[in-house]
Amino acid sequence: MSQRKHHLQRIHALQERYISSSNLLGKVTRLESKSPKTATDYKNIEKLNGKYKLLLKYEQDHSKLSEATSDFSSEAPKLLKHHSIYYDAELNPLGKAPFSGLPNFASYKVKQSTIPSNTDEPIPLPSTPKPRFYKLKQVQTTYVSKSYNE
């Protein structure tokens, strides 16, 4: 497993357990305010401070990244790819509009037809008896080969 993947898994585990860095900080302050501290309390405070710093750094970086991506995504038009009406597997695999004057739709917008809908007419069943199909025997030719000894 790569180091980055392991790091992200560790951060996600911290987020699941403590939800946010402020919850973790509250736990640290509660331990620090405890008057008779034991050796395990000091160890826990050290561990939780390290986890708090890690989670706080991730949250700050993540918020910066989400702000940057939100600005970028709002400017760029959404690519519909194979859902676009301009999609062609060879000529236009991304489904981009030919130029900025035409809108890129996910489906064709066709006006309602003024012609009334054509309902299917019932087809009458034939009154004559069913035709009979006979299986014809095929004539098979059998070949007899001459032996070389004769």
Would the pTM of this model clear 0.85, i.e. be above it?
A: no
User: What average pLDDT does the segment 47-52 reach?
Assistant: 91
CA distances to 25, 34, 92, 105, 148 from 49, rounded to whole Å, are 8, 16, 53, 52, 100
Please answer whether residues 127 and 117 qualify as being in contact, where contact means their C-beta atoms are separated by less than 8 angstroms.
no
Helices (H), 34-129: 39-75
CA distances to 62, 75, 101, 108, 123 from 93, rounded to whole Å, are 32, 22, 20, 18, 45
Each residue's pLDDT tens digit, 121-141:
788 888 988 877 776 667 777
